[in-house]
Structure 1
Amino acid sequence: MKFELFIALRYLAARRKHSFISVISLISILGVGLGVAALIVVLGVMSGFSTDLRDKILGVNAHMVVGVMGGAMRDYRENIEKLAQVPGVLGATPFIYTEVMLSSAGGVKGVVLRGIDPATAGEVLSLPRDMVQGALADLETPGPFSGIILGKELAERTGVTVGSAVNILSPSGRQSAAGFTPKVKTFVVRGIFRSGMFEYDTSMAYVNLAAAQDLLGFKHDLVTGVELRVDDVYAVAAIGQRVREALGGMPVYVRNWIDMNGNLFKALQLEKTAMFVILLMIVLVGSFSIITTLVMLVMEKTRDIAILMSMGATAENIRRVFMLQGVIIGGVGTTLGYALGLPVSWALGRYQFIKIPGDVYPMDYLPIRLEWLDVTVVGITAMVLCFLATLYPARQASRLRPAEALRHE
């Protein structure tokens, strides 16, 4: 063991009249440890919230939507065959989108109605996995009324269950001598889904394509567009360009999940950065405690430093002694922060014992996702701050002159 490290450890373990310095060292370690633990947990929550929200949005919605500018899409089956051949596209399904009024014995609610193809919707959407009652195939069940699938919260608010009848009022009615007459059609609830996103579960309903076309009065086999699922959700811009090329000269628009939700995820990233900066102040407080510890130690050990220098220790040796003390404090504090932050994050993610209101947030529990890059950056940042805190006290200690120091003893 080098004598600089030996002396640094002895000074940190000061006893008797110097025990106050050891207490300050302990406070410094705790300050750094709590700061690192808080950073790990909070960044894990922010990453988990962003990732969980992205997964839920990309489950209920497609990665990419292709539509025709100014109207509905004709010959969608032929277009789906073309799109399925585009490199990077894993699945394609047609859809119809409209807003309607749903009424039942339990109340009236405005909902987003989506017509889907039960045979191919599972290749793009997470709806088959989100079903809590019934299945997508039940939309094709024959009977006097077409089937409909409702969100769990929507079903509870309107007081319906599987087998209940609901009325859908469409804005696409017809003009008569008595004025405009909206179109009303009766559906039977064939299933209930729960996506985990309160906004979708309270306002989304699904029917098959034929029922949606009949409700909207489409005279031809038209759809609103085609939804796509891709293999790389971060390469949607490049895949979108290939999609346009595959459809030739058709006047289509291509929108991806980043375009539709970009502002939301940018806001989440900004919040994550802001929380990192704010909580870094806790580590900064710990590093200031390191400065206090080392400055007081230099004052207490003036005579020892003079003796060491008179015995041949150089200014560089003295500087290393005090720099090593700060680095040791920072290292122990950072390790303590990891030992506290990682288990807490694991417990939060594993047991989900912190619940949040689902009607306010898009999820009903506190999500945790530890990114190793975030965890590494936290540790490196804490160590850098602790190292910088050693520079001034170490420099002052190395500038002591043995004769001047001993003269005042």
Structure 2
Amino acid sequence: MGFERFIAVRYLLARRKQTFISVISLISVLGVGLGVAALIVVLGVMNGFSNELRDKILGVNAHVIVGATSGGFADYEQTAETVRRVQGVTGVMPFIYSEVMCSTPHGVKGAALRGIDPERAPEVLNLGEQMVQGSLQALTEPGEYPGIILGQDLADRLGVFSGRTINLLSPSGQSSAAGFSPKIKIFRVVGVFESGMYEYDSSLAYVGLPAARDLLGFGGELVTGLEVRLADVYQAPQIGEAVLERLDPSRFYVRNWMEMNESFFSALKLEKTAMSVILVMIVLVGSFSIITTLIMLVMEKTKDIAILISMGAQAHNIRNIFMLQGTIIGFVGTGLGYALGLGVCFLLDRYQFIRLPGDVYYLDHLPVQLEWLDMGLIGVAALGLCFLATLYPARQASRLEPAEALRYE
């Protein structure tokens, strides 16, 4: 295939009278390159967005939640030990959940209150790694007022920081001679966390289990449920079923993080698929440019093709010349696209120069994560489309009759 490759390269780098064809070849290369680069960047951002959100969601929430059908249960130690014996479970923590109203002289804001065990929390949550003020263990320190940990945006909204006090109003209230009245309790801010997700940082507050029971009026050792952490987050459905098999289904229910966020991650997957289809069209446009280039080249090189056939070149030799030319355009364009796309992804990941408003999006920057499978599929798709684009022009060139081509020369 030596002379075929030589002629294909010479035609591709044609000069003088074929300058216009060379320009179209360059446009074809750029079209394929831009399409590949756009695919790499968009899929990298979509993967990074999905994985970053998953990590942030699982940093604040458990992989599996065991709850009581009656609203709460007191024998949580025995239940936690049963759950802990299930293969794949790495941590179990009791929790209390309720919605409260937070108030300070600077403002009022509703919040989701979670009562946790600070000793067991590191087994289940990444809260300790997200602290920007104070510490998780400060919830257990004795003081005039029980401790509370707030999200960064919630603390900013209320104008408080570590050491300041805050009033919590419980919706459950308390009954008195005058009738029903809300219960208000003072807490001392002992820490502030920042998960990176505005939804959590603006609405979550953590207190110890005893303080949560006192505020909400829970008697005895009552808790809302158990938070469970797994060794493999993608085994949550199977392990959740195994946990439920060991418990009484009439008393308990089990939910995993996939169920609780199914619609959200399904929407992300659909967006990724839609964007991929749209961007493949860009590569398809580049491949059509290759067809145009080769057809014009066949028309321009009719005499050359006839002379080659007259000198003994076979039909498959002529076909290979033009297929090689289109394939070279595809390889060069795909390589250029990889270089451009990977370069943009590196800059986005390294410098994070595109910032997002945290109160609108879940993240404050564009995360990037490249997956080898996506990179391979992009390359195969681009080269496949470029190769298919060479078939028709190459076939037409190989069917050229020398006598007809040289009749009017």
Are 2:231 and 1:231 equivalent residues in the alignment? Answer: yes
Residue 218 of structure 2: SS of its match in structure 1? coil
Contact 2:27–2:289 (Cα < 8 Å) also in 1: yes
* CA drift at 1:249: 5.5
5 Å-filtered alignment, 1:1-16, equals 2-16=2-16
Residue 219 of structure 1: SS of its match in structure 2? coil
Residue 261 of structure 2: SS of its match in structure 1? helix
5 Å-filtered alignment, 1:123-272, equals 123-248=123-248, 251-272=251-272
| Distance in structure 2 (CA, Å) of the matches to 1:75 and 1:176 | 30
Q: Which residue of 2 aligns with 1:104?
A: 104
Deviation by residue 1:256-279 (Cα, 9 ceiling, x = unmatched): 110000111110111111111111
Residue 240 of structure 1: SS of its match in structure 2? helix
Q: Which residue of 1 aligns with 2:307?
A: 307
Contact 2:349–2:367 (Cα < 8 Å) also in 1: yes
| Distance in structure 1 (CA, Å) of the matches to 2:316 and 2:69 | 73
Aligned length: 409
Deviation by residue 1:37-59 (Cα, 9 ceiling, x = unmatched): 11111111111111101100010
| Distance in structure 2 (CA, Å) of the matches to 1:208 and 1:58 | 20
* CA drift at 1:70: 2.3
Amino acid at match of 2:76: Y
Residue 181 of structure 1: SS of its match in structure 2? strand
5 Å-filtered alignment, 1:323-362, equals 323-362=323-362
Deviation by residue 1:366-389 (Cα, 9 ceiling, x = unmatched): 111111111111111111111111
What value does the CA root-mean-square deviation take over the aligned residues?
A: 1.1
* CA drift at 1:245: 2.1
Residue 385 of structure 1: SS of its match in structure 2? helix
Q: Which moved more, 1:51-60 or 1:166-175?
A: 166-175
Q: Which moved more, 1:264-273 or 1:173-182?
A: 173-182
Deviation by residue 1:179-198 (Cα, 9 ceiling, x = unmatched): 31111111111110001010
| Distance in structure 1 (CA, Å) of the matches to 2:312 and 2:12 | 23
Contact 2:69–2:250 (Cα < 8 Å) also in 1: no
User: Which structure 2 residue ranges, 5 or more long, are not aligned?
Assistant: none
Q: Which residue of 2 aligns with 1:82?
A: 82
* CA drift at 1:250: 5.5
Q: Which residue of 2 aligns with 1:364?
A: 364
Q: Which residue of 2 aligns with 1:24?
A: 24
Residue 108 of structure 1: SS of its match in structure 2? strand
| Distance in structure 1 (CA, Å) of the matches to 2:408 and 2:368 | 58
* CA drift at 1:11: 0.7
* CA drift at 1:161: 1.2
| Distance in structure 2 (CA, Å) of the matches to 1:174 and 1:18 | 90
| Distance in structure 1 (CA, Å) of the matches to 2:87 and 2:348 | 39
| Distance in structure 2 (CA, Å) of the matches to 1:57 and 1:138 | 24
User: Which structure 1 residue ranges, 5 or more long, are not aligned?
Assistant: none
* CA drift at 1:178: 2.6
| Distance in structure 2 (CA, Å) of the matches to 1:180 and 1:233 | 44
Runs of 4+ in 1 over 4 A off after TM superposition: none
| Distance in structure 2 (CA, Å) of the matches to 1:174 and 1:110 | 19
* CA drift at 1:251: 2.5
Q: Give the TM-score normalised by the residue count of structure 2.
A: 0.98
Q: Give the TM-score normalised by the residue count of structure 1.
A: 0.98
| Distance in structure 1 (CA, Å) of the matches to 2:225 and 2:67 | 4
* CA drift at 1:112: 0.3
Amino acid at match of 2:364: D
Q: Which residue of 2 aligns with 1:41?
A: 41
